[in-house]
Structure formats: structure tokens, C-alpha cells
Chains A and B, each alone.
Chain A
Amino acid sequence: MINDKLKIEKIMVDGQPQLKLKGVIDEDASFDVIKKENGPLYLNLSEVTGINSLGIRNWVNLGKELSGREIFYIECPPVIVRQMNMIPSFSGQAKVVSVFVPYVCDNCETEKLVLVGQKELSLSSPQVAESFSCENCKNGEMELDGNPKQYFAFKK
């Protein structure tokens, strides 16, 4: 895992204050910035690049510390979606607002992350495109990298 120390910064997105996490969630990650916030927590996870087992443990324990607070996970990258699928308590009481779904071109291997939001996630089985034309090479099909049912298993 790239040695990319976790940073948390406050951003505004369409007038909504969010805490954007950047880097790796591991044993060294500090969540003090999150703990100091009042009110609902909008955690933008789009730039989390990795998480190890101690990071998962610390994240789950953070969730317990924040028990009773409204927490929203925004723009979850595949590395986070994977943990939500593997470990039920990873997302705890948080509401998943949006996730990135990975696609890869079968011709030029270009990768693309497509954001899936609340409208799709509100369905018990989110409907996402299994493929679409590649904008890069124009010849290939961007295919969902993985099984849709498995990718959205956290919804159950």
C-alpha cells in the first residue's frame, strides 16, 4: 500500500460542508478532525486510496464513538465499497449516499469510475449499466469491473 498519510480537509460542495478524507486509512490515521465536528457528518471518501486491517478496526471504533450522530458516506471509491461488503460493521449506522462503480475498457483498458447516487442506491438492486462505449478508443466497451450483485452486496 502506498505510504500516503491520511489527511482530512473541510470542503463545501453545493453549500454543504463535507470532510474530505485523502490517503490511506491505517494504524497511523488520525480522526481528530472528524471527532471535533458538530452536527451531521458528511464524509467524502472519494480520495481514500487504501485501508488495512488496523485501519478498518480504527474506522469501526470511530463509528462507535460517533454513535448517535448522523453520518453520511459520500462518493465511496471501490476500495471502501469492498470493505463495506466484507465487513458488515464497517459502515455501521452511516448512510451511503453515493459510490463509484469501476468500469474498464475491453479494448484499450482505460478505467473509469462512474458515480452512482441516492436515486440508484435507493433501489434494493441498484440498476447500473453493465457496459457502454469507450470514449477513449471509440472501439471498445467499458465493462463493469466485477459482478454488480457482489459490488452492491452492502445494500442488504
Chain B
Amino acid sequence: MISAKQKPQPQTDTLCVGLFSKMEAALKISEGIRHLHSTVLGLQDACVVNTQQLQKGVKAQYTWEINSFDKLDYFENSSDRHSIIQNIIETTQFGKTLQNRNRLQCVAEELLTNAFYHAYKSSQGQEKYLRQNPAQLTQPEAIGIGFKENKEGLHLVVEDHGGSLMFANLASCFSRCYAPKGQRELIEQKGSGAGLGLFMIFENVTHLHMRVSPNQRTLISCWLSNMSSFDPDNFSFNFFEESSK
């Protein structure tokens, strides 16, 4: 079990490969592991090979990343997220079945609200946009979104130009959200930023790839498997922090 007081260890690029439950994976992430693959194929898994290439600085995309990161549509008003999500549902086969649709709504809602409301900070370091009101971003802040599907599932990409996602915060979020029952209640009382949204994303996706250039850009790329091809033992988490250029 994870203690809510447990603090993540210093950054490590260790690649963790094995068979895990999401809870076991969250424990490792909360301990500082930034790359984790749950797979029966071990080091032969194509995604694991991709991670190793990316760790070496080779420009690569995961096999499931079928939507180009350059093909994103940009939005400036947080209220647009409802129509964005509805558009994905209506224009994909993925969105036609209820369970797929529910997971997509959940993941897309949390990714977009995180981007609109938590990506950008004021000069005092606080949230620039508050969730109580619709956020009207200015042009450089526009949130990018892209998606593409095949018969196995749907690839979803969300990008912001805040670059404020910190691994330490994410690890802390997992530590809270996967804590023993009594301690988990703490997140239910916490205000904005409790991390429940990240927990919901992690629970509902098969692959989660985060790429952060601090203070510049955050790109979150995730794969939602069709329920028909969903394998609970096969998932991955990767967090890359790119140095500022």
C-alpha cells in the first residue's frame, strides 16, 4: 500500500518492464519511476523498444501514436471542450459504443480541463485561470487537440504551451489517489489540483505518454483501446522532460 506521506524519490530514467496492475504501476511512479511498461512481451515489446530509443534521444513515436503531433486543432475557450469532445464522439467509430464513449468523455474532459485550467500560471506562480469561470485564453496559450482511430482504438493528443506539468506533482497525485482507503479521503476534500483527474486518465487509458518542456510545452498523448481489444495487463506510462532549447 502507498502512504500518502511518501515522497517521490529523485528523478530516475530507469525503465521498468514487467507485469503490473495499475495500482502497482502507480506505486512505482510515485516512487519516481518515469517509464513503466506492463507487458507479457518484456523487452521485446515494440513500445519498450520505442522508449529505449526515445531515452537515447532518437526521434520516434510509439506504434500506437497514429496521429501526428503536428496535426492539431487549437482552441482558446474552455467552453469549447464540450463541442470538441462531442465532435470526436460523432466522427469516430470509437465513439459509437457506450463504454468507449464514456471512457473517451472521461479522459478528454480531464485532459482538456487540466490544460485550460492548470497549464498556465500567473506571474505569482498561481493558476492563471480558475475553474469557477470559463477560461478565455490568448493566442499563444491556445490548447491543441488531435485524434485518430483505427480498429484497435483511438489516439488522443492534447498540447498546451504552459509546460507546467511537473513529475513530482504527478507522482504525488498517484501517491494520494492509490493510497489506503482512509488516506484516500484526503483528495476528496482537497481543492483544485487534487489530481483526481490524472488518476481517472491513468485508469481509463492503455498507454500514456507525457512530454514536458518546462515553461514551454506539455504534450499528453494517450491511447484508448476499444473495449473489444482491451487488455488490462498491457499498458504503459512514460514521462519525458525535455530541456529548454
A1 and B203 contacting across the interface, CB-CB below 8 Å? no
Interfacial chain A residues near B189, Cβ < 8 Å: 61
Tell me whether B86 is interfacial, beta carbon within 8 Å.
Answer: yes
CB < 8 Å: which of B96, B98, B184, B185 contacts A78? B98
Tell me whether A57 is interfacial, beta carbon within 8 Å.
Answer: yes
A89 and B185 contacting across the interface, CB-CB below 8 Å? yes
Interfacial chain A residues near B181, Cβ < 8 Å: 88-89
Tell me whether B79 is interfacial, beta carbon within 8 Å.
Answer: yes
Interfacial chain B residues near A61, Cβ < 8 Å: 188-189
Tell me whether A148 is interfacial, beta carbon within 8 Å.
Answer: no
Interfacial chain B residues near A30, Cβ < 8 Å: none
Beyond A61-B189, A86-B203, 16 additional contacts (C-beta under 8 Å) are: A1-B85, A1-B105, A50-B102, A52-B106, A52-B113, A53-B197, A54-B192, A56-B200, A60-B188, A61-B188, A78-B99, A82-B106, A89-B181, A102-B98, A104-B98, A145-B97
Provided the pairs A1-B82, A88-B184 are in contact, do residues A57 and B194 lie with their beta carbons within 8 angstroms? yes
CB < 8 Å: which of A50, A60, A145 contacts B99? A145
Output the least CB separation between A148 and chain B (Å). Answer: 13
Count how many chain B residues have C-beta atoms less than 8 Å from C-beta atoms of the other chain.
Answer: 35
Cα distance A48–B151 in the bound complex, in angstroms: 29
CB < 8 Å: which of B99, B132, B192 contacts A102? B99
Output the least CB separation between B175 and chain A (Å). Answer: 16
B86 and A52 contacting across the interface, CB-CB below 8 Å? no
* B212-238 with Cβ < 8 A to chain A: 227, 232
B131 and A27 contacting across the interface, CB-CB below 8 Å? yes
* B158-205 with Cβ < 8 A to chain A: 181, 184-185, 187-190, 192, 194, 196-197, 199-200, 203
A86 and B97 contacting across the interface, CB-CB below 8 Å? no
Interface residue ranges, B against A (CB under 8 Å): 79, 81-82, 85-86, 96-99, 102-103, 105-106, 108-110, 113, 131-132, 181, 184-185, 187-190, 192, 194, 196-197, 199-200, 203, 227, 232
CB < 8 Å: which of B79, B110, B200, B227 contacts A145? B227
Tell me whether A79 is interfacial, beta carbon within 8 Å.
Answer: yes
6 contacting pairs across A/B (C-beta < 8 A): A1-B105, A53-B110, A53-B194, A86-B200, A113-B98, A145-B227
Interfacial chain B residues near A47, Cβ < 8 Å: none
B102 and A52 contacting across the interface, CB-CB below 8 Å? no
Interfacial chain A residues near B96, Cβ < 8 Å: 109
Tell me whether A12 is interfacial, beta carbon within 8 Å.
Answer: no
Output the least CB separation between A45 and chain B (Å). Answer: 14
Cα distance A25–B177 in the bound complex, in angstroms: 20
A2 and B200 contacting across the interface, CB-CB below 8 Å? no
Cα distance A54–B190 in the bound complex, in angstroms: 10
B82 and A146 contacting across the interface, CB-CB below 8 Å? no
Output the least CB separation between A31 and chain B (Å). Answer: 15
The chain A residue sitting closest to B109, CB to CB, is A1
B184 and A146 contacting across the interface, CB-CB below 8 Å? no
